[in-house]
Amino acid sequence: QLTMSLNSSTLLNEEKSQGPKRTSECLESLELQTPSSFQDNPLRQLQLASQEVLEKAKKSGRSKCPQCSSSRMFYCYTCFVPVETVPTKEIPTVKLPLKIDIIKHPNETDGKSTAVHAKLLAPDDVTIYKYPCIPEYKEKRHEIALVFPGPNSVSVKDIAFHLQKYSKKGVCDKDDDCCREPLLKQAKIEPKEEENLNECISNNRGEGTRLKKIIFIDSTWNQTNKIITDERLQGLLQIELKTRKTCFWRHQKGKPDTYLSTIEAIYYFLVDYHQEILKENYKGQYDNLLFFFSFMYTLIKNAKCCAGKE
């Protein structure tokens, strides 16, 4: 359920091709229909900016990247910019409550990754790194978390409580393994000190916690081990998204439908963070992160329906 761009493809006719096609290439042969042509679109409730610019770009076909001049559909997935037929001013910009680092596996196909959507739509708050070139996080792990499932992962609502151990002096000094033990067991906190700590945690929750950056991994599930075991990521608080279901058209066969594409994981994490940590009503503030994703979903879904795939 997490941040991976899952690699098994279900694009129209892709099963019969000699090799996987890139999303932008496959989309060229599809005819766009009205989203209301089918009723089971789980993204239909999103509050999105007008996608008319994408509809026009689809009809006109591939266009040049203004930076590298490569032929692309909608956006350049290597330069992280819209193509010439998609004016930047017509693309929504999303302001995020914290910074996001995306660590991309070097073998992840650029054209299949949804990580670029986040960079396009929240350019001031998102940075994409290609592994192994990633930052050192150890010194600031009291304000950083990693979205990745595992036995030690916690839910979004518990972020404030678990981050507190990193800022509590002496609780998690140089011992990376301490992050795997319950807070009170690690610190051996006296009853009175525990009461003060809980009060501090409660106050932090009201202030949005100390969390300043969240990390996502952009990779196929089979390639994650090398990144997640990197020493630079050890000791970070891990967050798991357990209740969301993917709409990704490349969902990997044999994997649970709670395994999300990268942009889905980013979006759903922020929605949960907004409600559980910031304690504010969610009113669609981050919906436009799915601006490209929802358009492609509708495009592919309709084409598959017309072809009798579903």
End-to-end, the C-alpha distance of the chain in Å comes to 24
User: Between 278 and 11, whose confidence is greater?
Assistant: 278
Peptide bond preceding 191 in cis form (omega within 30 of 0): no
CB 286 within 8 A of CB 301: no
Average pLDDT value for residue range 269-280: 95
User: Between 241 and 208, whose confidence is greater?
Assistant: 241
**Torsion sign, CA atoms 120, 224, 287, 237:** negative
| pLDDT for residue 209 is more than 90 | no
**What distance lies between CA 252 and its chain's CA centroid?**
17
Distances (CA, A) of 34 to 30, 37, 52, 86, 288: 13, 6, 12, 20, 19
Cα separation, 307 vs 193, whole angstroms: 65
Cα separation, 175 vs 147, whole angstroms: 21
Q: In percent, how much of the chain has pLDDT > 70?
A: 68
For strands 81-82 and 75-76, give the pairing: antiparallel
For residue 228, the surrounding DSSP H or E stretch is: helix 224-228
CB 238 within 8 A of CB 266: no
Lowest mean pLDDT among 67-71, 217-221, 302-306: 302-306
Which of these, 197, 200, 221, lies nearest to 209 by C-alpha position?
A: 200
Give the per-residue pLDDT at 253.
61
| pLDDT for residue 22 is more than 60 | no
| pLDDT for residue 23 is more than 90 | no
| Highest-scoring range by mean pLDDT, 23-27, 32-36, 195-199 | 195-199
pLDDT band for position 126 (cuts 50, 70, 90): very high
User: Between 18 and 140, whose confidence is greater?
Assistant: 140
What is the model's pTM? Answer: 0.74
| pLDDT for residue 150 is more than 70 | yes
Which tokens belong to 64? Answer: 């040049």
User: How is residue 154 annotated by DSSP?
Assistant: B
Average pLDDT value for residue range 265-293: 96
Report the chain's mean pLDDT, rounded to a whole number: 77
Give the per-residue pLDDT at 309.
55
The backbone torsions φ and ψ at residue 127, rounded to the nearest 5 degrees and listed phi first, read: -125, 135
Cα separation, 83 vs 196, whole angstroms: 54
| Highest-scoring range by mean pLDDT, 103-112, 250-259, 262-271 | 262-271
